[in-house]
Structures are given as C-alpha cells and as structure tokens.
Homo-oligomer: A and B are copies of this chain.
C-alpha cells in the first residue's frame, strides 16, 4: 500500500515536472497537473498541498541528480561540469530553468532567500569551488580567491541561462561565454 502510494507520488512528481518545464512555475495550476496526471482533483490533494510544494519536491529531487562529478584531473572535472551546463542550456526539451527562476522570484519577493531552488545555485557554486581549489592545488588553475572565482563563473552561467530563456543564445554564444569564464582561471597563471 505505502509502496503503491509512493509509486503514485513519484508518478505525479514526474508528470508534474513536464508541466513545469512547459509552463514555468507561476502559470501552472493544480488543474494542469490533475489533467496531465489524469487523476482526480481530490486525489492530487491527498499527496500534495498545492503547486508550490509539488515544485519544491521536484527541485529537491533535481538537486540530488545535479552536478554529478566525473573526470580525473580538476581540468577534466571542470570541463565536464561546464559541458553539462552547456547541454542543459542548449537542450531542445524545455528545461525547468524558467520555472526555477519564477519560483525564486516568488520566494525572493516574500523575503525567503533560502529555498530548494537557491540551494541548487549554492550547490553549483560549492561544486565549482571544490573543483577549482583542487585545480589550484594541482597547479592546473590559478585563482587568488577560489570562492570568488567560483561565483564569477556561476554568474556567467546564470547570465547564459537567462539569456537562453529570453533573448535566445546560439551554441557559439554559450561556448565563447564558457571559455571566457575559464579564461581567468588559466590565463593569469
């Protein structure tokens, strides 16, 4: 039973994720999710309170999957990290990016600056920090202030992401942007 329930819960989350990918965060209604899942209105409320809690759970899940490192040298790891970002930005299937931003705006307006979505950002920065500091130790990278370097790289990534969802970006835009992000880590050595 509880097993069956867990499966249904997961099914709802998976289905809802596509809805949020399609429509962002704000315009998704419980009705949208009910229809996408083909369950009853009341049924959805058994598992979730509202769109906000559904979305938060989706993000928490995402966080688990994100930034799975790979590679031996710090350089490899960074290349992998950036390549993942690139793939995500270019991905034809709509991503959760818009929904994430909308959700964060929503929370930020209400003064809540810590939430599952900001955690995702912070995790990204931490991941970068680790990679960079590893690279600095191994002599692959140069950085005065690792934290700062990680943040700066992240700003570019965010800038690219937001541009992708608003003005549009080409593959070249992304590649050149990421090279630029890297440049400071290797150029000034």
Contact = CB atoms under 8 A, between A and B. Distances in A.
Of A24, A163, A187, chain B has the most CB atoms within 10 Å of the CB of A163
Interface residues of A, number: 42
Given A24-B109, A102-B105, A159 B155 contact: yes
A78 to B, nearest CB: 17
Copies of this chain present in the complex amount to 4
Contact of A163 (B26, B27, B155, B183): B155
A53 B61 CA distance: 38
Interface in A159-189: 159-160, 162-163, 165-168, 173, 176-177, 180, 183-184, 187-188
Interface string A10-28: 0000000000001110110
Contacts of A157: 159
A113 to B, nearest CB: 5
Interface in A98-115: 98, 101-102, 104-106, 108-109, 113
Contact of A166 (B117, B152, B156, B177): B117
Of A23, A117, A118, A155, chain B has the most CB atoms within 10 Å of the CB of A155
B109 A167 contact: no
Nearest to A173: B151
Contacts of A148: 176
Given A98-B108, A184-B184, 7 more contacts: A24-B106, A102-B105, A148-B176, A152-B180, A154-B159, A158-B158, A183-B184
Interface of A: 22-24, 26-27, 98, 101-102, 104-106, 108-109, 113, 117-118, 121-122, 148, 151-152, 154-160, 162-163, 165-168, 173, 176-177, 180, 183-184, 187-188
